Structure 1
Amino acid sequence: MKAAAFASFGGPEVMSLMEFPEPQAGPGQVRVRVKSAGVQHFDSAVRSGWKPAYGLEVKLPQIPGNELAGIVDQVGEGVTGYSVGSRVLGFSLLNSYAEYVVVGADQIVSKPDTLSWEEAGGLTGNGQGAHIALNAIGVGPGDTVLINGAAGSLGSFAVQLAKERGAKTVIGTASEGNHDFIRSLGAIPVTYEAGLADRLRQLAPDGIHAAFDTAGGEGLRAAVELVKDRNRICTYFAYDLVEELGLRVVRGERSAARLAELVELHTQGRLQIHIRQVFPLSQAGEAQRALETRHGRGKIVLRID
């Protein structure tokens, strides 16, 4: 099978199209013929040589990718609820930038017709990541919430989910060109520049209750200054500042149940998935390069024909 992979650690240029043996589904697993795969900063970090604290094993050459959508074409022993031809979306830690991937049957959910392949491939990681973060910081009715880096895929999901949880006010930092987009999600946009904390005080005179950071920098430091309870601040970006700023590291497990909840929200028209750009599998390196600029709005996805 064809897959986008890296044989050495480095920048996006180490990604290339390679041939691999087709994986085979074992007990409790399904093989998915991948139609789309989301591109995440996690993928770029692993490609660069980062090793997560939970001991993810990377074997060169390595296929990255942990968001996927496609059609089941092989079903392992003991699997119920799915059959050859089932349309699904799901998640894995690695190996999704490929024509085929094997995952546990507990890592997928059925894809409704209301989701395009690109949308389905772009929901499973960032959508769950935002869901986990907002759970951790306890976003609920009446809260004023800051989303730092609100225009990206993770941030735009977080804005919508915060509103869905009953947050009274959601403020999203973004470059000025993305302010209309932030408004369309139901948040108040604000620029990143120096003096952010003062502008936030003007927007939220009664205070900010919780903050989710996806961009670091001035936005995270403003959150630390303005949010009274640091347990209600979560960063998915500035892990190097966690100890200095007295924050906790938030971790959570992706699950089929969590993903099914997000799919249902989309089906009901209560969660939008904004696709920024779609690349062919052969341009996975360029897709990661585009992601690493940290500009633009919404999700970058690979299309696998």
Structure 2
Amino acid sequence: MHAVRLHSFGPPENLVHEKTEDPVPGPGQVRIAVAAAGVHLLDTALREGRRGPLPALPELPTVPGREVAGVVDALGDGTDASWLGRRVVAHLGPVPGGYAELAVTDTDRLHEIPANLDFAAAVAMIGTGRTALGIAGFAEPGADDVVVVPAAAGGIGTLLVQHAKNAGATVVGLAGGPEKTARVRANGADLAVDYTAPGWPDEVRAFLAGRPATLVYDGVGGEAAREAVALLGPGGRHLVFGWSAEGIGDEARGHFVEGVSASVLGPEMLRRAGGLRALEERALDEAARGRLRPAVTRLPLSGAAAAHRALQTRGTVGKVVLEP
């Protein structure tokens, strides 16, 4: 098979698309002929030799990637034969191997893909979808809320905008540049604002006509997030999530601040009824019903280096997916 392998930590160019041996499923496992593989911001940190929230770096050489969708093409010993030929999606967990034409995983990680979802949408929902719903669970929006979503054109931001709109909230989506703000507007945000434009908070205040924001979903930190937090009224909620967030500034004083780092988010979601699997099932179901619609940037598997560069420079929209 062909796979993208990392032989040494460093820049995106260290990701090499090359031929390697086909993986063989072990007992209780399946092999998936991969049709879509998710790319995560954490993948870029691991490539550079930064472990982020993980306990350790992967051993080299490694095939990055932990989210795959495709068709089961081989079974390990003792595996239920009914899995063969089924369209499935799986989050591989702590074991990498997704950037490849073939990937192996345990059957307890598999979900059958709903008939009306394509592979790219399924792989977006198994990781980004479950995360967005997990984040929202810490600060659920309601019909009386004014929700501000920085990075609203990103994979998680796109779904948080939709989730808040489904709850009846007024949603302000922030994104960089006219192309991304157009996408945020088309995604259903009541107001889409270019946070790179001078004075953008005044545009938000004018739109809200004296109504304060009540909830900020902040996964990026930085100046845009600090200005978003300044839009909150007394008692407003500022949810900080993600290992890449830069944290909060003095503007958050007087507001309810909930910090959800990656090290907290995973264990907290595991403690909820059904754990991560329940969130994965819910995410896939929401997508199948059309309530959540992931945005996807598709690139060929051989373009993994370009995908990493674009992701790190915020040159992508939605979830980045590699297709062999």
Which TM class, normalised by the smaller chain length? 0.7 to 0.9
Quote the residue 2:321 is aligned against. 301
Deviation per CA, 1:229-249: give whole Å up to 9, x if none. Answer: 576422336434359877623
- 3-state secondary structure, aligned to 2:259: coil
Q: Indicate conservation of the 8 Å contact 1:213/1:219, yes or no.
A: no
Structure 2: unaligned runs, 5 residues or longer: 270-274
Q: CA deviation at 1:48?
A: 1.2
Quote the residue 1:9 is aligned against. 9
Quote the residue 1:190 is aligned against. 193
Q: Indicate conservation of the 8 Å contact 1:90/1:124, yes or no.
A: yes
Quote the residue 1:274 is aligned against. 295
Amino acid at match of 1:258: L
Between the aligned partners of 1:16 and 1:229, the Cα distance in structure 2 is 50
Amino acid at match of 1:100: L
Between the aligned partners of 2:316 and 2:226, the Cα distance in structure 1 is 23
Quote the residue 2:52 is aligned against. 52
Structure 1: unaligned runs, 5 residues or longer: none
Q: Indicate conservation of the 8 Å contact 2:75/2:81, yes or no.
A: no
Quote the residue 2:178 is aligned against. 176
Amino acid at match of 2:306: E
Quote the residue 1:218 is aligned against. 223
Amino acid at match of 2:279: R
Quote the residue 1:257 is aligned against. 278
Q: CA RMSD in A?
A: 2.6
Quote the residue 2:136 is aligned against. 134
- 3-state secondary structure, aligned to 1:125: helix
Moved more, 214-223 or 242-251: 242-251
Instruction: Give the share of equivalent positions with the same residue, in percent.
Output: 32
Deviation per CA, 1:33-56: give whole Å up to 9, x if none. Answer: 211112221111111111133414
Between the aligned partners of 1:99 and 1:115, the Cα distance in structure 2 is 20
Quote the residue 2:307 is aligned against. 287
Quote the residue 2:272 is aligned against. none
Quote the residue 1:104 is aligned against. 106
Amino acid at match of 2:310: A
Amino acid at match of 2:36: S
Structure 1 80/212 Cα, relative in aligned 2: closer, same or farther at 3 Å?
farther
Amino acid at match of 1:41: L
Amino acid at match of 2:304: A
Moved more, 66-75 or 210-219: 210-219
Q: TM-score, normalised by structure 1?
A: 0.87
Quote the residue 2:239 is aligned against. 233
Q: Indicate conservation of the 8 Å contact 1:8/1:61, yes or no.
A: yes
Q: CA deviation at 1:198?
A: 3.6
Between the aligned partners of 2:140 and 2:260, the Cα distance in structure 1 is 15
Q: CA deviation at 1:28?
A: 4.0
Between the aligned partners of 2:43 and 2:315, the Cα distance in structure 1 is 17
- 3-state secondary structure, aligned to 1:294: coil
Between the aligned partners of 1:37 and 1:59, the Cα distance in structure 2 is 20
Q: Indicate conservation of the 8 Å contact 1:30/1:72, yes or no.
A: yes
Q: CA deviation at 1:172?
A: 0.3
Q: Indicate conservation of the 8 Å contact 2:42/2:52, yes or no.
A: no
Amino acid at match of 2:213: I
Amino acid at match of 1:259: E
Structure 1 31/189 Cα, relative in aligned 2: closer, same or farther at 3 Å?
same
Between the aligned partners of 1:242 and 1:46, the Cα distance in structure 2 is 25
Q: CA deviation at 1:217?
A: 2.5
Q: CA deviation at 1:4?
A: 0.3
Structure 1 255/76 Cα, relative in aligned 2: closer, same or farther at 3 Å?
farther
Deviation per CA, 1:104-140: give whole Å up to 9, x if none. Answer: 3232211123122232233322222211211122323
Q: After TM superposition, what 4+ stretches of structure 1 lie above 6 angstroms from structure 2?
A: 243-246
Q: Indicate conservation of the 8 Å contact 1:126/1:154, yes or no.
A: yes
Moved more, 201-210 or 56-65: 201-210
Deviation per CA, 1:234-284: give whole Å up to 9, x if none. Answer: 2336434359877623413473322222222222222222233x2222221
Alignment of 1:16-55 (within 5 A): 16-55=16-55
Q: CA deviation at 1:99?
A: 1.8
Q: CA deviation at 1:77?
A: 5.5
Q: Indicate conservation of the 8 Å contact 1:108/1:256, yes or no.
A: no
Structure 1 15/21 Cα, relative in aligned 2: closer, same or farther at 3 Å?
same
Between the aligned partners of 1:255 and 1:86, the Cα distance in structure 2 is 22
